[in-house]
Chain A
Amino acid sequence: MRKHLLPFSFKYGALLFIGLVILFFSLYNQYFFTYSNLTDILRSISIVTFVAIGVTISLLVDGFDLSVSATVSLSTVITASLMVWYEMPLVVVLIVPIAVGALIGLINSLLIVKIRIPDLLATLSVMYLVNGIHKNYTAGYSVYSHMPMPDGSTAPGEMSKAFLWIGQGKLLGIPFPVVLMVVAVAAVHVFFKYTRWGRQMIMTGGNEEAARLSGVKVKKIRMYAYVASGIFASIGGILFASRIGSGQIDAGAPMLMESVAAVFVGYSVFAAGRPNIIGTFFGAILMGVLVNGLTMMNVKYYQTDIVKGLVLIVALAVTFIHLNRRKA
C-alpha cells in the first residue's frame, strides 16, 4: 500500500494541493466558489499564462528567455499606439506586435545560437534593450485614447471597440481571454505531444549533442523556440493592452517572475520534473487562486508574495526530492 501511495502522492500531489487550496478558500468565503469569481481568476491569469507558455518553450529546449517581460511591455505600447496615434485597422494592430515579438525572438536566437552567448546573459541584455526601446518609443508616457501629444495637439485615434472586446468581451458567457488561453494551452500541448517539431524541441532540450548527432538541426530548433517565446509574449502584450484599454509603460515588468513561477510550479505537476505546458497551466492557476483567495481574506498584497514563495519552494522541493531519489 505504502509502495503505491508514495509515487501516487508525488504524481498527483500538486493537483491535490490545488484542490485543497480551492476547497479551503471556498469554505472560508462563500463568494470564492462562484462562477463569476472563478472566471475572474482564469481571466486574471490568462495574460501571464501566455507569457509562461513562451518561457516554457524556451526552457524546453534547455534555454531561458528573460526578455519576455520587455516584449510584453513593447507589444502593449505598440498595439495601443497603432490605434491611438496612427488609426490603423484591427488586422495591422494585431499583426505588427506579433511580428515585433518574433523579431525579438530572432535577435535572441542570433545571439544565443550564432554568437553563442549563454541564454541567460543574451536574453537579459535583450531585456534591457527592448525595455529601453519601448520607453523611448512613447517618450516615457503611457498611450491612451485621444492622449495629448508633445506638440500640444490631441492624438487622433482611440482604442477600437472590437479590439477592446478581445480582452474584455465574453464568448458564450466565458471571458474571451480565457477562451484564447485554453485554446493556446491545448494547441501547444498538442504541438509538443504529436508533432515532429515539438518532439525535436524536446529531444534537443534533453540532450543537444545527441539530438545533433541524430540529424536534428538543433540550431534551427532552438531558433524556432525563441521566436515562439517572443510571439507568445507579444500576444500577452496585446491582451494586456486590450484588457486595460491603454498602452501602459512597463506593463510587462511583473510578468517575468509571475510566469517563471508558474512554469516552475508546473515542474511538479505529474512529477514531470521538467517544463511542460499542462504543468505551466496548472501552475498559473495555483498562483491565480492564491492571489485571489488571499485577497478575499484581506491578506495584504505584499504578504501574498511570501505565500507564493513558500508554495514555489515546497513544490520544487517535493519534485526534486522525488526525482533525485528515483535516480539513486
Chain B
Amino acid sequence: MLGNQPVSELNMSKISKSFAGVPALKGVDFNVRGGEIHALLGANGAGKSTLMKILSGAYETDEGNIEAGGVSHAFRSPSDSKAAGIHCVYQEVDTSLVAHLTVSENIFLDNLASPKGKAWLSWGKLHDEASAVLERLGLHISPRTLVRDLTLSEKQLVLIARLSAQKAKFVILDEPTAPLSLEETEKLFGIMQGLKSDGIGVIFISHRLPEVLRISDRITVMRDGERVLTVRKEEIDSQGIVKAMLGRSFEEEFPKLQADIGKPVLTVARLEAGKRVRGVDLEVRQGEIVAVVGLVGAGKTELSRALFGADPIDRGTVAVNGKSAKLASPAEAVRAGIALVPEERRKEGIFVRESVLHNLSVPVLRAISRLGILSGKRERELANRQISDLGIKTSSATQQTAFLSGGNQQKVAIGKWLETDADVFVFDEPTKGVDVGAKRDIFRIIGTLAQQGKGILYLTCEFDEALGLADRILVMCDGSIVKSFNRGEATHEDLLKFASAVREELA
C-alpha cells in the first residue's frame, strides 16, 4: 500500500539509557529502512528490549535522537510512537487484545477508542473493512470470530492486521516465533514478506539463528548495551553471529566445591507438560549439580514447575530415589523430597508482607509444632540458624521480607527448604536480579547442598553460571533436552549453538 511512496528510513542515533545509574544502553546507533527485514540479536540483557521500548515509546531515552521519515521525534508515550508509524507486537499478545471482542473490533480498536471516532458504529462496514485487511494479508479468519477463540498465532496475526490497518511504517516483532509451531512460523514469514513488499520496515527479534539467517536482510547484534555490528545477511554465518553476541571470553571464577557423586536421586523419563515441555529425559545423582541451560522460552521454567507438581504433567514419569513420585500438587512433590526455588521470587518464592521468621518456617510448620501448636522457640532457633548460615542480611528475624535486598530475599527463598528432608533441589534462575556478592553466596549454598549429598537441578539462561558450577550441562531447546555435556567439555559457544537450534546445521 505504500509501494509508490519514497522509501522511508528510521534512524536511532547515540541512544543512551540508564536505570538507577546502571547503564542499559551506551550510545547505540540503529538504522532500519522501509522494505527490509532487520534482525536485532543479542544475549539476554544485551539491551535489545530496552532499545525497542525506547523506539515504541514505552521508555524515554536519556540521550540521543530518533528520526523517522526525515523527521526528528521525541517519543514520550506509545501513542507518540504510533503516530509516527512505529508499531510493536509484543510477545505477550494477550495484553494487547480484548479477548471478548470480535476480530474486527480488535483490528480497529484504536480507531474505535479514538475521541475523533464516529459516535455510531456501522457493524457491516466494520466487518467489511476488517475482511479487506485480512484478505490483503492472506489471513483466513472470519472477522466476526471472538478473539478469545483464536489460537496464539492467529492472535499475533490479528495484531499484525491491526497495525497494517493503521498504516504502520515500521513494525517491531518481539520474538514472535518463540511460541509458534513450524507451520505457523512459515505463515508468519509469508506475512512478514508481504509487509516488506508493502515498503514497511520490519524489526525482527529472535533467538533462533537459522530463521534469522533465512528471513532477514540485515542483522544487528548487540552486547552489553552497545551495538557490536550491523551487516548484510550474506556477510555473516551463524558462527560469526554467536561470536559477536558473546564477545570476548567470559572468564569468571565460580566457587566449585568438591562433592562425592552417588546413586541417582531424580530420574525423569519422557516428561511432557503443557506446550513447553515436550519429552524431557534427565537424571540427577547424589551430590551432582546438573545445569539445564536454554534461552528464554525454551521451557525451563515450565520443566521446573512440572517437576514440582505446580503444573499438571501430561505424560512421563518422575522418580525420586528410585521410587515413582506422584506429583499432582507441590505438597506431594515436597513429600516426595523435591524442593523448588522458583524464578519469580517476589511472586512465588517469598511472602513479602511477612517476616523473615515466618517465611523461613512455612514448609516445616509441622516439624516445629506439637498437636498443631507452634513452638515459638523452635521457630526462632530455626530462623536464626538460617540467617547466620546463609548470611541473610536483615536487621532481625521479625523484619518484613519486603525490606530485604533481592539477594537476601533469594536466600530466604532457599533457606526455607534447608530444614526439610528434600533430596532434590530445583533452582530456576536463582541469580536473577541478584547482586554479585549475593550471587557468590548462593553458589556456595548450592555447592554445600551438593556436598551434603543432595541432587541439584539448576535451570539457567546464564551460560557462564552453568559452565562454572555444573558437573553436567543439559541444553534445552523447544521443550526437550537436545545435548548433554560433562564438566569441561563444553564452551560458551557450544551451548549457545545448541540452545539456538543451530543443530540442524551441524548435523
Q: Which residues of A contact B (CB under 8 A)?
A: 194-197, 199-200, 202-203, 206-207, 209-217, 274, 327
Residues of B close to A199: CB separation below 8 A: 358, 361-362, 365, 374
CB-nearest residue of chain A relative to B367? A196
- A196 and B351 within 8 A (CB): no
Instruction: Supply 18 A–B pairs (Cβ within 8 Å), ascending by A.
Output: A194-B373, A195-B369, A195-B373, A196-B369, A197-B372, A199-B361, A202-B358, A203-B358, A206-B354, A207-B348, A207-B351, A210-B348, A210-B350, A214-B330, A215-B330, A215-B331, A215-B334, A215-B363
Complex Cα distance, B373 from A253, in Å, reads 36
- Nearest residue, chain B, Cβ from A220: B331
Per DSSP, are chain B's interface residues mostly helix, strand or loop, or mixed?
mixed
Q: For chain B, give the interface size range.
A: 20 to 34
CB of B372, distance to nearest CB on chain A (Å) = 5
B366-A213 in contact (CB<8A): no
| Distance (whole angstroms) from the CB of B325 to the closest CB of chain A | 14
The CA of A302 and the CA of B308, in the complex, are separated in Å by: 56
Q: Complex: how many Å from CA A327 to CA B403?
A: 9
Chain B minimum-CB-distance residue to A209: B348
Instruction: List 11 additional contacts besides A207-B352, A215-B362; criterion CB under 8 Å.
Output: A196-B365, A196-B374, A199-B358, A200-B365, A209-B348, A210-B347, A213-B330, A214-B362, A214-B363, A215-B330, A217-B329
Over the window 335-368 of chain B, the binary record of Cβ atoms lying under 8 Å from chain A Cβ atoms (1 yes, 0 no) is 1000010100001111111100010011101100
Does chain A have a CB within 8 A of B310?
Answer: yes
Measured CB to CB, the closest approach of chain A to B338, in angstroms, equals: 10
Knowing A196-B366, A203-B358 touch, does A212 contact B353 (C-beta < 8 A)? no
Determine if B416 is an interface residue (Cβ-Cβ < 8 Å). yes
- CB contacts (< 8 Å) of B329 on chain A: these are 212, 217
Q: What are the residues of chain B within 8 A of A197 when measuring CB–CB? A: 372
Chain B proximity of A80: nearest CB distance (Å): 35
Selected from B340, B353, B358, the residue in CB contact (under 8 A) with A213 is: B340
For the complex, give the distance between the alpha carbons of A206 and B347 in Å.
11
Among B334, B347, B369, contact of A207 (Cβ-Cβ < 8 Å): B347
Nearest residue, chain B, Cβ from A274: B353
A81 to chain B, nearest CB (A): 36
Q: Do the beta carbons of B353 and A216 come within 8 Å of each other?
A: no
Residues of chain B with a CB closer than 8 A to A211's CB: 351, 362
CA distance A214 to B329 in the complex (A): 11
Least distance between B212 CB and chain A CB atoms (Å): 35
A45 vs B349: C-alpha distance when bound (angstroms): 41
**Smallest distance from the beta carbon of A65 to chain B beta carbons, Å?**
22
Q: Write the B431-467 contact mask toward A (1 if CB under 8 angstroms, else 0).
A: 0000000000000000000000000000000000000
- B373 and A212 within 8 A (CB): no
In the complex, A207→B373 CA distance in Å? 22
CB of B374 within 8 A of CB of A195, answer yes
Q: Do residues B362 and A216 form an inter-chain contact, with CB atoms below 8 A? A: yes
> Complex: how many Å from CA A157 to CA B341?
63
> Which chain A residues lie closer than 8 Å to B347 at the CB level?
207, 209-210
Distance in Å from the Cβ of A59 to the closest Cβ of chain B? Answer: 14
Q: How far is the CA of A195 from the CA of B375 in the complex (A)?
A: 9
Chain A residues closer than 8 Å to B330, beta-carbon distance: 212-215
Which residues in A have their C-beta under 8 angstroms from that of B333? Answer: 215
Query: Do residues B340 and A210 form an inter-chain contact, with CB atoms below 8 A?
Result: no
| Cβ–Cβ contact A203 & B310, under 8 A | no
Contact B331 A216 (CB under 8 A): yes
Min CB distance, B205 to chain A, in Å?
29
- Most chain B CB within a 10 A radius of its CB, from A200, A207, A274, A327: A207
Taking the closest CB of chain A, its distance from the CB of B399, in whole angstroms, is 13
Q: Tell me if B310 and A213 are in contact (CB < 8 A).
A: yes
CB neighbours (8 Å) of A207 from chain B are 347-348, 350-353
Report the separation of the CA atoms of residues A215 and B354 in the bound assembly, to the nearest whole angstrom.
Answer: 17
Bound-state CA distance A197–B363 (Å) is 12
Instruction: Choose from B331, B340, B369 the contact partner of A217 (Cβ within 8 Å).
Output: B331
Bound: A211/B365 CA distance, A: 12
Of the listed residues B351, B376, B402, the one surrounded by the most CB atoms of chain A closer than 10 A to its CB is B351
Asked if A213 and B348 make an inter-chain contact with CB atoms under 8 angstroms apart, the answer reads yes
> Considering the chains assembled together, what is the distance between the CA atoms of A213 and B373 in angstroms?
23
Complex Cα spacing A3 to B351, Å: 28
Q: State the CA gap A200–B330 with chains docked (Å).
A: 15
* Chain B residues with CB below 8 A from A195, complex form: 369, 372-374
**The residue from A203, A213, A327 contacting B342, defined by CB atoms under 8 A apart:** A213
| 6 shortest interchain CB distances as A-B pairs | A215-B334, A214-B362, A196-B365, A196-B369, A206-B351, A215-B331
| CB of B351, distance to nearest CB on chain A (Å) | 5
How many angstroms from the CA of A215 to the CA of B335 in the assembled complex? 8
Nearest CB to that of B350 among chain A residues?
A: A210
Residue of B nearest to A327 (CB): B402
**What chain A residues lie within 8 Å of B342 (beta carbons)?**
213
Cα–Cα, bound, A209→B363 (Å) = 14
| A199 CA to B374 CA, complexed, in Å | 9
The smallest beta-carbon distance between B334 and chain A, in angstroms, is: 4
Q: Which partner residue on chain B sits nearest A191 by CB separation?
A: B372
CB-CB < 8 A to A216: which residues of B? 331, 362
CB distance from B328 to the nearest CB of A (A): 11
Q: Which residues of B contact A215 (CB under 8 A)?
A: 330-331, 333-335, 362-363
Residues of A within 8 A of B372 (CB): 195-197
B194, chain A: closest CB distance, angstroms: 42
When distances are taken between beta carbons in the complex, the residues of chain B under 8 Å from A210 are 347-351
Residue contact B334 to A206, C-beta cutoff 8 Å: no
Chain A residues with Cβ below 8 Å from B350 are: 207, 210
Task: Kindly identify which residue among B334, B348, B354 contacts A203, using a CB–CB cutoff of 8 Å.
Answer: B354
Residue of A nearest to B369 (CB): A196
A contact residues around B334 at 8 Å (CB): 214-215
- A206 and B353 within 8 A (CB): yes
Distance A216 CA – B373 CA, assembled complex (angstroms): 17
> Nearest-CB distance from A189 to chain B (Å)?
14
Known A194-B374, A197-B372, A206-B354; contact A213-B349, beta-carbon cutoff 8 A? yes
Name the distance in Å between B367's Cβ and chain A's nearest Cβ.
10
Q: Is the CB of A212 within 8 A of B354?
A: no
Chain A residues within 8 Å of B366, by CB: 196
Contacts of A194 in B (CB 8 A): 373-374, 376
Give the residue name and chain of the A residue nearest to B340 (CB).
A213
Return A143 CB to nearest CB of chain B, in Å. 39
- Smallest beta-carbon distance A207→chain B, Å: 5
A194 to B348, CA, bound (A): 25
- Shortest Cβ distance from A64 into chain B, in angstroms? 18
A199 to chain B, nearest CB (A): 6
User: For B351, what are the chain A residues with a Cβ–Cβ distance below 8 Å?
Assistant: 203, 206-207, 210-211
Q: How far is the CB of A168 from chain B (nearest CB, A)?
A: 35
Q: What's the Cα separation between A206 and B353 when bound, in Å?
A: 7
State A206–B231 Cα separation when bound (angstroms).
51
How many Å lie between the Cα of A180 and that of B365 in the bound state? 30
Cβ contacts under 8 Å, B331 to chain A: 215-217
- Whole-angstrom distance between the alpha carbons of A215 and B334 in the complex? 6
Q: Which residue of B lies closest to A193 (CB)?
A: B374
Residues of B near A327 (CB, < 8 A) are 402
